[in-house]
């Protein structure tokens, strides 16, 4: 075990996350949730790479852009699954006709996902091996550099909250969500190396990330239905689905704003 004052091993942390992504991808055909876990490992690796920007800014930029490309390749099927799950989740608390409309939307999304061409897993694995090679040449970071990188992640989350909290527009809310996820991942991965004055309750950060995530999926589904008026079988049914989704989105936004104020009070 490293001593409490030792610098976090970025190279080992990044490598572990990429290996985790590779393992999950290898199980993707047998386990439906493996693809989601693969993307989660990549998100955690990108968050660590942002910490590593303090010691290797150029490498950090290349790593993040490469990882972003892999995530984009994996995104379509995951996005459709997330939207279908959002439709069903909102439907559970909706009126009978709204619930039926949302169920029809979810079934249409499932059918679309099932019709997607198979993913080229070998190509994605090759991209992950390239990422692992980048991780393994990361320069060793000092304790001070890790602290600077972590502070930058926390600072970006605070700035994103100021710009997104209380706003209805999608772009600043989405940016806030991404920066909060980074902060949550980094705080979890760094452990004792996370700056003492930035330690907050983990549950609070998870609740905020979840609320912003639900809001994001609901917003994406609203936008999709606005472009597909017959997505629920008819324009009337789609209108019912949209009304339920807009209520749910407003509820998630208010919840996220409340949690965000609490989490960032005094710094997070």
Q: Rounded to whole angstroms, what are the CA distances from 175 to 30, 178, 213, 224?
A: 33, 5, 11, 20
Domain annotation covers residue 3: no
Question: In this structure, what token pair is assigned to residue 104?
Answer: 């029809």
Domain annotation covers residue 2: no
Residue 244 structural domain: 10-264
- Among all chains, which residue has been given the structure tokens 């004052």? 5
Domain count of the fold of the chain: 1
Q: Quickly list H helices, the chain.
A: 10-26, 34-51, 57-91, 96-114, 121-135, 143-164, 170-190, 202-227, 235-264
Domain annotation covers residue 5: no
Report how far residue 130's alpha carbon sits from residue 137's, in angstroms, rounded to the nearest whole number. Answer: 11
The average confidence (pLDDT) of the chain is: 91
Domain annotation covers residue 1: no
- Phi-psi group of 166: left, alpha or beta (phi > 0 → left; psi -120 to 50 → alpha; rest → beta): left
Contact of 187 with 202, CB cutoff 8 Å? yes
What pLDDT score was predicted for residue 3? 42
For residue 150, count other CB atoms closer than 10 A to its CB. 23
What pLDDT score was predicted for residue 6? 62
Domain annotation covers residue 105: yes
Contact of 142 with 7, CB cutoff 8 Å? yes
Would the pTM count as exceeding 0.85? yes
Please, which pLDDT band fits residue 36 given cuts at 50, 70 and 90?
confident
Please, which pLDDT band fits residue 4 given cuts at 50, 70 and 90?
very low
What pLDDT score was predicted for residue 150? 93
Q: What digits encode the pLDDT tens for the residues 218-252?
A: 999 999 999 999 999 999 999 999 999 999 999 99
* Nearest alpha carbon to residue 8 among 42, 55, 65: 55
Supply the CATH number for residue 117's domain: 1.40.20.10
Q: What digits encode the pLDDT tens for the residues 39-59?
A: 999 999 999 999 999 999 999
Please, which pLDDT band fits residue 197 given cuts at 50, 70 and 90?
low
Contact of 189 with 212, CB cutoff 8 Å? no
Question: In this structure, what token pair is assigned to residue 190?
Answer: 């760094």
Please, which pLDDT band fits residue 170 given cuts at 50, 70 and 90?
confident
* Nearest alpha carbon to residue 127 among 39, 234, 198, 238: 39
Question: In this structure, what token pair is assigned to residue 2?
Answer: 């490293």
Domain annotation covers residue 55: yes
Please, which pLDDT band fits residue 194 given cuts at 50, 70 and 90?
confident
Average pLDDT over residues 163-170: 89
Tell me the torsion sign for CA atoms 40, 45, 48, 50. negative
Domain annotation covers residue 66: yes
Domain annotation covers residue 28: yes
Report how far residue 157's alpha carbon sits from residue 144's, in angstroms, rounded to the nearest whole number. Answer: 20
Q: Is the pLDDT of residue 126 over 70?
A: yes
């Amino acid at each position: 075990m490293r001593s409490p004052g030792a610098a976090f091993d970025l190279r080992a942390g990044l490598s572990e996350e990429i290996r985790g992504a590779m393992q999950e991808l290898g199980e993707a055909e047998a386990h439906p949730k493996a693809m989601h876990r693969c993307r989660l490992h990549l998100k955690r690796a990108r968050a660590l790479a942002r910490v590593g920007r303090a010691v290797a800014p150029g490498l950090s930029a290349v790593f993040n852009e490469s990882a972003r490309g892999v995530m984009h390749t994996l995104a379509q099927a995951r996005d459709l699954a997330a939207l279908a799950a959002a439709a069903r989740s909102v439907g559970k608390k909706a009126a009978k006709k709204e619930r039926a409309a949302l169920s029809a939307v979810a079934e249409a999304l499932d059918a679309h996902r099932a019709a997607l061409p198979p993913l080229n897993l070998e190509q994605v694995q090759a991209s992950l091996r390239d990422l692992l090679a980048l991780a393994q040449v990361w320069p060793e970071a000092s304790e001070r550099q890790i602290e600077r990188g972590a502070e930058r992640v926390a600072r970006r989350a605070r700035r994103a909250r100021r710009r997104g909290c209380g706003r209805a527009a999608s772009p600043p809310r989405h940016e806030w969500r991404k920066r909060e996820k980074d902060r949550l991942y980094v705080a979890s991965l760094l452990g004792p190396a996370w700056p003492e004055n930035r330690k907050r309750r983990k549950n609070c950060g998870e609740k905020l990330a979840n609320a912003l995530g639900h809001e994001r999926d609901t917003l994406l589904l609203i936008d999709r239905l606005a472009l597909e008026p017959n997505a629920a079988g008819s324009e009337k049914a789609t209108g019912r689905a949209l009304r339920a989704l807009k209520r749910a989105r407003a509820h998630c936004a208010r919840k996220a704003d409340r949690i965000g104020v609490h989490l960032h009070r005094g710094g997070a």
